[in-house]
Structure 1
Amino acid sequence: MWNKMMQILGLSDEEPRTEKMRELAREDHSSDVVQMQRKAAVVSLHTQKQLKMILCEPKSFEEAQTIADHLRTHRPVVLNLHKAQFDHAIRIMDFISGTIYALGGRMEKIGHQIFLCAPDNVEIQGAISDLLKQQTEYNQAASKSK
């Protein structure tokens, strides 16, 4: 009681109380930092896993499911249909295009009966079909000039 009276009159030293408040504030701050560290997830930018590209030359429709499984595991697939019979190639393309649509991916033609099938985690830039079209037009113009 005597200390309180002295503090009210301004005659006592308030340093012990101020120091105690500072210590409490430091403890609160350190506990906040610990809680923030527990909540924060640290992600290294250099630990990106290596992406594999799968090359497939199916001969029959039975191989289409294996190709779809690669796409489901987020691996891009280059699909060469040269070895497949025409009716099998059409069925394979129907199955794979449905898979790609369901996964939100893309399919690009990169040559005659060759397709790049990419899941949603792979971005495709550019268009080879434009280059093929330009090459065809150039070849046609060159043959007319002869």
Structure 2
Amino acid sequence: MGVMNRVLNFLGLKEEEENALDKDYAPEEVEEVETNPFEQRKIKGNVVSIHSQKNVRVVLNEPHSYDDTQEIADHLRNRRSVVVNLQRVRPDLAMRIVDFLSGTVYALNGNISKIGPSIFLCTPDSVEIQGAIKEMNMEEHYN
């Protein structure tokens, strides 16, 4: 095959000639049928694209009582990430809230991560937390 034939083939102006030897080793071509996404959804039934989520929301929440944790759990069930600030609640109540949220994210296959003093990030299973934030001691900060 000459250079001119290769250029014409590359530009799509001439179809490539197949040799008899190439036909023996050529894999069978599978015909692909294009369908629009709506038709695919009807065909596949309950299968939904993972890229269908357009608005990703992160909710900031500062609970004042244990009853406020139900609202945080509802956000997680609706696949929203929640930043929980527990700096304004008593330490024993903060521990109860963290325990409840830990159970919630476990049940939803999500994650909980401490991102600051008494601040936690709770995410559903569709969000991956990458990296870690080291806790800084006050003595190290001022020395």
* Alpha-carbon distance between aligned partners in 1 of 2:62 and 2:87, rounded to the nearest angstrom: 7
Unaligned runs of 5+ in 2: 1-30, 42-47
Q: TM-score, normalised by structure 1?
A: 0.60
Write the letter of the residue equivalent to 2:63: P
Give the AA of the match of 2:40: A
Gapped regions of structure 1 (runs ≥ 5): 1-31
Compare the two structures and name the one with the higher helix fraction: 1
Report matched runs for 1:1-146 at 5 Å.
37=35, 41=40, 48-129=53-134, 132-133=135-136, 136=137, 140=140, 143=143
What is the match of residue 21 of structure 2?
none
- Alpha-carbon distance in 2 for matches of 1:86, 1:45: 39
Q: How far apart are residue 64 of structure 1 and its match? A: 0.6
Change in 2 beyond 3 A, CA 1:104/1:47: closer
Determine helix, strand or coil for the equivalent of 2:40.
coil
Q: For residues 85-104 of structure 1, give each alpha carbon's deviation from its aligned partner in whole angstroms, at most 9, with x where no partner exists.
A: 22221111111110001011
**SS at structure 1 position matched to 2:60:** strand
Aligned pair count reads 106
Q: Secondary structure at the match of 1:110?
A: strand
Per the normalisation by structure 2, the TM-score is: 0.61
After superposition, give the CA deviation of every residue in 1:43-78 in whole Å (9 maximum; x if it has no partner): 999864110000000010000111000001110000
The question of whether the paired residues in 2 share the 8 Å contact of 1:59 and 1:85 is answered with no
SS of 1:49's equivalent in the other structure is coil
2-structure distance, mates of 1:142, 1:99:
37
Structure 1 residues 105 and 111, CA gap change in structure 2 (3 angstroms): same
Kept in 2, the 8 Å contact 1:55–1:78? The answer is: yes
